[in-house]
Amino acid sequence: MPTMGALHEGHLSLVTEAKKNSTVVAVSIFVNPTQFNDPEDLKKYPRTLEDDIKMLEKVMGADDFIFAPSVSEMYPEPDTRKFNFGTLENVMEGVHRPGHFNGVAQVVSILFEIIKPSVAFFGQKDFQQLAIIKELTKRLYPDIRIVSCPIVREHDGLAMSSRNRRLMPEHRKEAGIIFKTLNEASKNAVRSTLKELKDHVSSQIEKIPGFKIEYFEIVEEETLTPLVSLDDASAGKHYYGCIALFAGVVRLIDNMEFRLR
């Protein structure tokens, strides 16, 4: 179970799920510099290793282990590998965070080589990342099974994230609007146009002072192809509304399934 630390109940739910299916669970804690396209974001990312270990000790067994390497251990020399995930990386996060998914692929492949897991667990909050990792695994590690686990949310629906602790109190108080708005949009999808849904999401989020939408797209689950019209949705396929926004200076993402057929 790869993590960047600053753990919360969402991470612990992954460990709990892993323990149901595995004899030994490994959790990595490593803030990976190659997936940050903004040096300031890397600098400010929370690092709470001692607290993380205490949290994990509550759910991990005697045979389980934590792997918390240094940057020099993970990258004894620069990793110059380039991954090409095609359309999977050319939308949403890939547009706004160039190089991010190449860094994700670098660190996950290194972790897979070190740990050699039979199963790896990832949360669905990082929806596009999950699709990228599934593709990486299919290409290079076909014997590793990827398990996706549901988003764990706060009492007001805010998706649990390590970044939440950086929210200003006034922004945290209003952050439940993200889940509320996605939920409203998903319920209205069958009787609205895509433009109406996008306008609704933008107006609801941006009425909160300090909140600014970066993107909202409805994409097909496996290809991540954004819909141009809701009429283009195919029966039998699954679609997700994916959002990224700034609450003050903190960037948040979330997603929810939209039943269009």
Catalytic center residues: 11
- CA torsion sign, 105 to 109 to 110 to 115? positive
SS3 call for 18 = helix
Give Cα separations from 172 to 95, 212, 227, 250 (angstroms): 26, 14, 31, 10
What's the one-letter identity of residue 71? V
What phi and psi, each to the nearest 5 degrees, are found at residue 77?
-145, 160
Residue with tokens 């039998």: 236
What one-character DSSP code corresponds to residue 75?
-
**Which residue matches tokens 């969402």?**
10
Beta pairing partners, 159: 153
Rounded to an integer, what distance in angstroms lies between the CA atom of residue 203 and that of residue 206? 5
